[in-house]
Amino acid sequence: MTAAKSPDWRAVEARLALIYGAIFLVFGVQSPFLPVWLSARGLGVAEIGLALAVPRVLQVFLVPALSRWADRRGGVMAMLALSCLTMTLLFAALAAATRLTPTLIVLGLLFCAQRGALPLIDVLAFAIFAPGGPAASGALEGRVPDARRSITAARVCGARPRSSPAI
């Protein structure tokens, strides 16, 4: 048997930074320009307000439900990949949506996918870099341990894990 090779933690940190950066870059570009883009697509001021408000209300209910599902299913990496793929497809669908109702539906799903990805990234980072985690012990198991998967829904609600006051 060969000994397991220790992962390059700088590369792991760089990949986590890259995904955080990508998510927040999208948020940063989307926030100021989405209303302007919707206006150029022919939506009025009231419709734009509705298109931005409905998804926010929807995500209050859907993101915790998606987080619970992720907790029960496990596989944070797979869920994160699915969330990123979903966001990509929904951005394409948003470009194709021409009326208010399809735009509302796509924006609602898109905002939920975006907000649902953040707790998954947080869980992943916490599982890797928390005291006693794989980065601290020097061994990466390739999955989030069962005890830490339950953090997802708590993080969505703003709770912080007791085992790591630094997060």
Burial of 38 (0-12, 13-18, 19+ CB in 10 A): buried
Query: Could you tell me if residue 161 is inside a domain?
Result: no
Largest Cα–Cα distance of the chain, in whole Å?
66
d(C-alpha 23, C-alpha 20), whole Å: 5
Query: Could you tell me if residue 2 is inside a domain?
Result: no
Q: Please state the rounded mean pLDDT for residues 161-165.
A: 42
d(C-alpha 112, C-alpha 83), whole Å: 9
Q: Which of 86, 87, 107 is nearest to 41 (CA)?
A: 107
Query: Could you tell me if residue 132 is inside a domain?
Result: yes
Q: Buried b vs exposed e over 77-111: b needs ≥16 C-beta within 10 Å?
A: eebbebbbebbeebeebbeebeebeebbbbbbbbb
pLDDT at 158: 52
Q: Which of 88, 108, 78, 67 is nearest to 23 (CA)?
A: 88
Q: What is the extent of the structural domain holding 16?
A: 9-156
Query: Could you tell me if residue 1 is inside a domain?
Result: no
User: Coil, helix or strand for 111?
Assistant: helix
* Residue 141: band (very low, low, confident or very high) from pLDDT cuts 50, 70, 90: very low
Query: Could you tell me if residue 84 is inside a domain?
Result: yes
pLDDT at 161: 45
Query: Could you tell me if residue 167 is inside a domain?
Result: no
User: What is the tens place of the pLDDT at every residue in 106-137?
Assistant: 988 888 888 888 888 887 888 777 766 655 44
**pTM (two decimals):** 0.66
DSSP 4: P
pLDDT at 33: 93
Domain count across the chain: 1
Query: Could you tell me if residue 164 is inside a domain?
Result: no
Query: Could you tell me if residue 129 is inside a domain?
Result: yes
* Residue 154: band (very low, low, confident or very high) from pLDDT cuts 50, 70, 90: very low
* Residue 60: band (very low, low, confident or very high) from pLDDT cuts 50, 70, 90: confident
Looking at the predicted structure, is the pLDDT value of residue 2 above 90?
A: no
